[in-house]
Amino acid sequence: MSTAIERFDDKARDAFDRMGQNEVYEGELLRHRVYTRFLHWMVALFFFLALFTGFGIYMPWLFRWFTPIFGGGPLARAMHPWFGLGFVVFFALQMLNWIQPMTWTAADTKWIRNLRSTVSGKEKQDPPDTGFFNGGQKAQFWEIVGGSVVFLITGIILWKGARTFGCWPVAISYILHDISAVIMLGGIFIHIYLSTIGEPGTFQAMIRGAVSEAWAWTFHPAWYKEVTGRDPVQACEEARKRGQIAKQ
């Protein structure tokens, strides 16, 4: 089964590479290919569309000013399931795309365990065994996978309504849908924060697909080592020395 996914992913990546292009300048590494970036932004787009239309249903008296953007309450409610479906479909493709790098490893549990220090800023550099994705990103990925499965099931139930599925399934899926939405929302805040102002230099990874080598060895040393073959800590020291020489 996985070989079929592999073949599909490769074919897709090549096809998209032909269509788009990865701008990798000197001193940068290729991080995300066109196919990944395309999927990421489609997922993001549908997520926000679903989120905003969903707000109109979740708490209309709070978000009543939102729905006119989508042409009023009824249209927002009508489009919400389609956006949700878009989100789930594209995320499914992303999941196939990232199934390999996202597999959970011991390093990730270790990363999660010293999460407090990374958040409080004491640890300037991530532990050397942080691979292509660190524990937080993997946790969020799998959280989104779980969330979108819940979205799909409860969404279909809510969409077709009590007429086909009965009162209690709708009532329960009404809660699960909300819970997973709120959790995912929380995760998305953090994701956006870290990928923009939280960790400068990350955003271009999803725009041009390239990251600076400094970024690589600081946040994903194991991946840096794997790609460039050099030792990240040593590379960081050399860069610091070069920095002081330039300053003098």
Contacts with other proteins by CB under 8 A lie at 56-67, 73-74, 76-78, 118-121, 124-125, 158, 161-163, 166-168, 170-172, 174-175, 178-179, 182, 185-186, 189-190, 192-194, 197-201, 212, 214-215, 217-219, 236, 239-240, 243
Distance CA 118, CA 136 (A): 11
Which is nearer to other proteins, 56 or 131 (by Cβ)?
56
For residue 199, which of 102, 130, 247 has the smallest C-alpha distance?
A: 130
Provide the residue count of the chain.
248
Whole-number minimum distance, CB 67 to other proteins, in Å? 8
Distance CA 161, CA 115 (A): 42
Whole-number minimum distance, CB 165 to other proteins, in Å? 8
Whole-number minimum distance, CB 20 to other proteins, in Å? 25
Which is nearer to other proteins, 10 or 186 (by Cβ)?
186
Going along 167-212, which residue ranges are E strands? 210-212
CB of 196 closer than 8 Å to CB of 203: yes
Whole-number minimum distance, CB 92 to other proteins, in Å? 25
Which is nearer to other proteins, 2 or 244 (by Cβ)?
244
| Partners of 212 in the β-ladder | 28
Whole-number minimum distance, CB 74 to other proteins, in Å? 5
Q: Name residues whose C-beta falls within 8 Å of residue 110's C-beta, 6 or more positions apart in sequence.
A: 127, 129, 135
Whole-number minimum distance, CB 188 to other proteins, in Å? 8
Which is nearer to other proteins, 7 or 240 (by Cβ)?
240
> Residue 69 carries which DSSP code?
G
Whole-number minimum distance, CB 105 to other proteins, in Å? 22
For the chain, counts of helices (H) and of strands (E): 13, 2
Which is nearer to other proteins, 142 or 203 (by Cβ)?
203
Which is nearer to other proteins, 96 or 176 (by Cβ)?
176
Distance CA 170, CA 161 (A): 6
Which is nearer to other proteins, 7 or 242 (by Cβ)?
242
The 10 Å Cβ neighbour count of residue 152 is 17
The H or E element spanning position 28 is strand 28-30
